[in-house]
Amino acid sequence: MQWPSDPAIYEGDELDAVQLALVRIANAIAEHEPVVMLTDQATRGGNRAKLAGAVELWDIPTDDLWCRDAGPTFVVDGAGALAIAHLRFNGWGGKQDHGNDGRIAARVAERLGLPLLETGLVGEQGGVEHDGAGLVLAHASSWLGPSRNDLPLATIGDRLCKALGGSRMIWAPGLVGEDITDFHIDALARFTAPGRFLIQIEDNPDPGDVWSMAAAETLKVLEAVRSAQDRPLEIVKLTGPGHVRSSAQDFVGSYINYYVCNGAVIAPEFGDEETDAQARETLGVLYPGRVVRMLDIDAIAEMGGGIHCATQQQPRSQR
């Protein structure tokens, strides 16, 4: 995880509120597995002191909290050895300063003594999903274009598959320019097992809502996909919150943006008792044997992200 430290990115008391929400996430995960927080020595203090003692601190400078995007993409070879596939982070196509965040993957690789494998791609792991059995899913809007990758879409897909160990690329159009990420897939759809995905979508798309129509397009693409066993993908649908506690314009009320850790699923709740309960029940069914822990992360949702955006998993090395 990354400690947000650049006050220029935030307004008023936003930074303080975001740090407290991040503490809540880190401490919850630390009850189940090791947590590392990247944070410059100079920015430690204040809310940082509220992190649980189990959270380990690494002296790697950061700008913002989005470790899913700026952090290292860990990969494992056939013998269990780790490396980092380098998806170069450029502030979502130059939309935000990233002097420190753009160097995080390389600095983590250096600290751990891991190979840094160049992918030839600029982008963010929040913009790609994979099912662990060959299928890779992304919105083209988050990868294609001169601000990230001025390459043919097929070439981008080939490089993503090579970087992540995938064998088949699935592209949905997505949505350009409506948010800083250009519609990262991890706010809409997540693979929960090989050949099965969870999508947050309403039963009836709203023609007047560009987000609703883009989501419907993604669902249509996925409905046409066949699994490795030549069967349709299993589709699980989840309804988003009918109301939230915030009026922020960029608020992301995505239950899909959760983190799966050892023994638990750490997910957001938004104050809508009915849909919060439905999300908890659905996640419990999809991840049997794991506790579903739901947290108030409104301050992070107001910044346009969620728990998955704020975390990055590191597999256990077998060597």
Strands 264-269 and 35-38 turn out to be unpaired
Buried b (16+ CB within 10 A) or exposed e, 140-173: bbbbbeeebbebeeeebbebbbebbbbebbbbbe
Decide: 115 and 81 in contact? Cβ < 8 Å: no
Q: Beta-carbon neighbour count of residue 236 at 10 Å? A: 15
The Cα–Cα gap between 57 and 37 comes to 5
Decide: 271 and 241 in contact? Cβ < 8 Å: yes
Q: What sign does the CA torsion over 255, 229, 168, 105 have?
A: positive
* HSE-up of residue 76 (Cα within 13 Å, Cβ side): 11
Reply yes or no on whether 261 is catalytic.
Answer: no
Identity (one letter) of the amino acid at 213? M
Decide: 134 and 228 in contact? Cβ < 8 Å: yes
Strands 264-269 and 291-296 turn out to be parallel
Decide: 102 and 90 in contact? Cβ < 8 Å: yes
Residues noted as catalytic: 309
